[in-house]
Amino acid sequence: MTPTSTTPTTRRDFLGKSAVTAGALTVAQSAWAAGSDQIKVGLIGSGGRGSGAANQALSTKQEGVVLHAICDAFKEKAEGALSNLRTKHADKVKVDDSRIFAGLDGYKKVIDSCDLVILTTPPGFRPYHFEAAINAGKHVFMEKPVAVDAPGVRKVIEMAKVADEKNLKVVVGLQRRYQNCYLDALKQVKEQNIIGDIVSGQVYWNGGGIWFRDKQPGQSELMYQINNWYFFTWLCGDHINEQHIHNIDVANWFIGGHPESAQGMGGRMQRVDKKYGQIYDHHYVEYTYANGVRVNSQCRHQQGVYNAVREEFTGTKGKIYLNNSGACYAVDHKGNTIWKYRPSGGAAAGAEGEQKGKKSRRSGSDPDPYQVEHDTLQAAIRDNKPLNNAYYGAESTMTSVLGRMATYSGKEIKWDEAFNSKVQHMPAIVTAETEPPAKPTADGGYPVAIPGQQIPGAEVL
């Protein structure tokens, strides 16, 4: 499929954004106009993360926020999420039966009826749901990753620019960017220079694995794969993309750009049963950045082995260790502690707005970054302040996809080669009649990438 955009791949295109002039801000029509009584929220994808995001959207201090519509590919999931949300927010859930949508096209109806949409379907759908929401003039909260392939990433960047032109607000669920301990650590590294120039890094998401759902009687192959989306590249992008993106995003953020190349290895050692779709159970990637910095990336879904979800960076003067529990600190090269994060008592340290009174188990008395994302988004809508996370969301997604390309192929892959890839795992349109891109093989399995080989159905570039 031809690329959706010829956007250059420089850092400026990802994070410099298209400038929105004061005149454009005046002319642009926002999905919510100042003085309106309500912000109507729509939930698209009502699994665990979607339900959590909707709960946080309804837990802000903003007045007039209501859940107005909901959809999921599976009606019972939409109804279950709605029941739970009504228990927590009886006065804010304003969804009648006519606005509970099921099926693969329900997102269109939610977008049509709401001001702010939450996009929490399997990641493969994200670029195209984002496109529909922005074209309709709606504000967006979307979970990470924002795509599963390079054409999807290019689509998100294209629509991020349209969002700027329309004065729409976009937040991406890379919540470490809204977490005090990370914000303070970044300040120490960038402003206080406590570890000197970064020369290398290590980032980890090593854990025990993820759920699996058996095929139900009468269920089509397409709906089986969507229900088990985590195990299919076209829907998930592999766990290096779906989970490890958090840590990879921190590397880009602290180093100040995306890598120029990647090479690595991966495969399936524990999770070898054919039912587990296409994805690997471990990846190791060496990312090389423009300034010569190398970051070693590990992610693993295996039982009985070393687990870690954290980041660390080595500089010319010391090392900094980061963890979303809030246990962030720095040492010099002799091992002496030179900085240790301490919770601020509830005031966001350097966040995009002061957040008070929301405590989190992650950082003592610090605000919960998952909640801060929604507080910040809704405040930007109410106060008409620029906010668009889609650029760095796309950049970090592409970095994760680059890593997957390296492990699937066993080759060194350059950034531009990956970014301009025409391999599109996720179809732009999926209906109930669509044949899933991952076709079952004769032995009941699915195409799995093998480094050094070209496997039909598991293409890399």
From first to last of its 461 residues, the chain has per-residue pLDDT tens of 333 333 444 554 544 443 333 333 333 344 554 446 789 999 999 999 999 999 999 999 999 999 999 999 999 999 999 999 999 999 999 999 999 999 999 999 999 999 999 999 999 999 999 999 999 999 999 999 999 999 999 999 999 999 999 999 999 999 999 999 999 999 999 999 999 999 999 999 999 999 999 999 999 999 999 999 999 999 999 999 999 999 999 999 999 999 999 999 999 999 999 999 999 999 999 999 998 999 999 999 999 999 999 999 999 999 999 999 999 999 999 999 999 999 975 433 333 333 334 444 444 589 999 999 999 999 999 999 999 999 999 999 999 999 999 999 999 999 999 999 999 999 999 999 999 999 999 999 999 999 999 999 999 98
Looking up tokens 């080669």 gives: 417
* Any domain includes 431: no
> Measured between alpha carbons, how far is residue 365 from residues 167, 346, 349 in Å?
34, 5, 12
Query: Residue 37: its pLDDT value, please?
Result: 74
How far, rounded to the nearest angstrom, does the alpha carbon of residue 130 sit from its chain's CA centroid? Answer: 13
Q: Are both 181 and 171 inside the same structural domain?
A: no
Q: Return the pLDDT at 247.
A: 98
- Regarding whether 347 and 204 lie in a shared domain, the answer is yes
pLDDT value, residue 30 = 47
Do residues 7 and 154 make contact, with C-beta atoms less than 8 angstroms apart?
yes
Task: Dig out the tokens for 386 from the structure.
Answer: 């620029």
Closest CA to 235 of 106, 145, 131, 141: 145
CB 156, CB 394: distance < 8 Å: yes
- Tokens describing residue 88: 């927590």
In a domain, 209, yes or no: yes
Q: Which domain holds residue 350?
A: 177-361
**Statement to judge: residues 169 and 184 lie in one domain:** no
- Domain match, 169 and 220 both: no
Q: Residue 407 — φ and ψ, nearest 5°?
A: -75, -40
Question: Residues 6 or more apart from 306 whose CB is under 8 A from it?
Answer: 206
What is residue 19's predicted lDDT score, i.e. its pLDDT?
37
Q: Is residue 450 domain-resident?
A: no
Residue 204 located in a structural domain: yes
Matching residue, tokens 């392939």: 149
Question: Do 330 and 207 reside in the same domain of the chain?
Answer: yes
Helix (H) or strand (E) holding 460: none
Q: How many domains does the chain have?
A: 2
Residue the block writes with tokens 């960038």 = 190
- From 387, 351, 401, select the one nearest 371 (Cα to Cα): 351
CATH number at residue 134: 3.40.50.720
Encoding tokens for residue 354?
A: 């002061």
For 241, list phi and psi in degrees, rounded to 5. -90, -40
Coil vs helix vs strand at 118: strand
**Amino acid present at 387:** L
Residue 237 lies inside a defined structural domain of this protein: yes
Are 17 and 117 in a shared domain? yes
pTM confidence score? 0.91
Do 279 and 155 lie in one domain? The reply is: no
Residue 97 belongs to some domain of the structure: yes
